[in-house]
């Protein structure tokens, strides 16, 4: 069993006064059928921030997301723009892992994005003009307006991710949780997803994104959360989180970190233990 150092809880200052603060998670714990899976996680997310959640398989990344959106019994507090957890679940857009979605479900792109308006519409009333406008605007923002009549099962992997981002946009969520959106997509789709993330940033939407791509996380995210065994080991800018000690504690001996001044960090599967050998063997590798 891996024992991770505990993160000191925050100093209890009243962050709600900060207008840039979008989400505040405090002492969040969650369990599956009584078995603890997330232990006392606390962090703040600010407007437009992009936060990568990194950790090995089974670390608790999906569990964190499910707890935030209320899909799991949990303790602790989550507030979104000052509203308490119960009121704020609809202010969080959640895109589960690709495998967790039934792509054979007979729904069009338009239908899925309109689901993001369920709270505004209510469950009995038909969509109003403003709902249709919101769906159209969301689809245009992710570049899928032309595909609105397609069945979701007919879309490519990258397009499917963008549909769910559009659903969150139509929902007017302040925070978006994306569970491994890049798994199984090609480089082109990845670029398109990042383009959409840039749009979200411009609109002030904070994005938390679970990812296995540690190298990409170092350069494409404002902050990282390193998580393992359901505990948050580190949270902050990538340079602060990707320390050799944190990487070794979380990923064991498989990951090497190489820093060249303040400029470059390289993270890769570690082929050998000696740093000079490693540097020589990978001298062709592209710094980022």
- Residue ranges in contact with ligand ADP by CB under 6 A: 32, 37, 55, 57-63
CB atoms within 10 A of CB 78: 22
246 near 226, Cβ under 8 Å?
A: yes
CB 250, min distance to ligand ADP, A: 11
Q: Which CB, 58 or 237, lies closer to ligand ADP?
A: 58
**Which residues have CB under 8 Å from 177's CB, separation 6+?**
65, 68, 69, 92, 93, 94, 95, 207, 208, 209
209 near 52, Cβ under 8 Å?
A: yes
Q: Which CB, 73 or 271, lies closer to ligand ADP?
A: 73
CB 98, min distance to ligand ADP, A: 13
Q: Which CB, 36 or 153, lies closer to ligand ADP?
A: 36
CB 169, min distance to ligand ADP, A: 24
Q: Which CB, 58 or 271, lies closer to ligand ADP?
A: 58
CA–CA gap between residue 165 and residue 171 (Å, rounded):
10
CB 175, min distance to ligand ADP, A: 18
Q: Which CB, 15 or 183, lies closer to ligand ADP?
A: 183
CB 197, min distance to ligand ADP, A: 20
CB atoms within 10 A of CB 141: 19
Residue 194, CB-side half-sphere exposure with 13 Å CA sphere: 14
């Amino acid at each position: 069993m891996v024992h991770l150092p505990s993160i000191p809880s925050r100093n209890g200052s009243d962050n709600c006064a900060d207008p840039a603060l979008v989400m505040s998670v405090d002492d969040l714990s969650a369990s599956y059928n009584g078995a603890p899976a997330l232990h006392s996680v606390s962090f703040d997310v600010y407007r437009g921030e992009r936060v990568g959640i990194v950790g090995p398989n089974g670390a608790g990344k999906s569990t964190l997301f499910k707890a935030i959106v209320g899909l799991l019994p949990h303790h602790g507090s989550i507030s979104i723009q000052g509203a308490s957890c119960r009121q704020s679940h609809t202010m969080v857009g959640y895109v589960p892992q690709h495998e967790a979605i039934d792509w054979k479900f007979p729904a069009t792109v338009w239908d899925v994005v309109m689901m993001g308006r369920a709270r505004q519409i209510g469950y009995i009333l038909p969509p109003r003009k403003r709902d249709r406008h919101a769906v159209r605007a969301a689809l245009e923002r992710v570049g899928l307006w032309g595909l609105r009549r397609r069945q979701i099962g007919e879309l490519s992997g990258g397009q499917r991710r963008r549909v769910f981002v559009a659903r969150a946009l139509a929902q007017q969520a302040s925070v978006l949780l994306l569970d491994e959106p890049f798994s199984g997509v090609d480089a082109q789709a990845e670029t398109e997803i990042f383009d959409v993330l840039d749009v979200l940033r411009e609109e002030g939407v904070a994005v938390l994104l679970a990812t296995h791509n540690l190298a990409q996380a170092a350069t494409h995210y404002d902050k990282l959360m390193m998580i393992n065994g359901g505990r948050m080991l580190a949270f902050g800018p990538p340079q602060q989180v990707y320390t050799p000690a944190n990487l070794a504690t979380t990923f064991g001996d498989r990951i090497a970190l190489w820093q060249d001044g303040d400029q470059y960090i390289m993270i890769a599967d570690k082929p050998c233990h000696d740093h000079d050998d490693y540097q020589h063997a990978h001298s062709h590798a592209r710094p980022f």
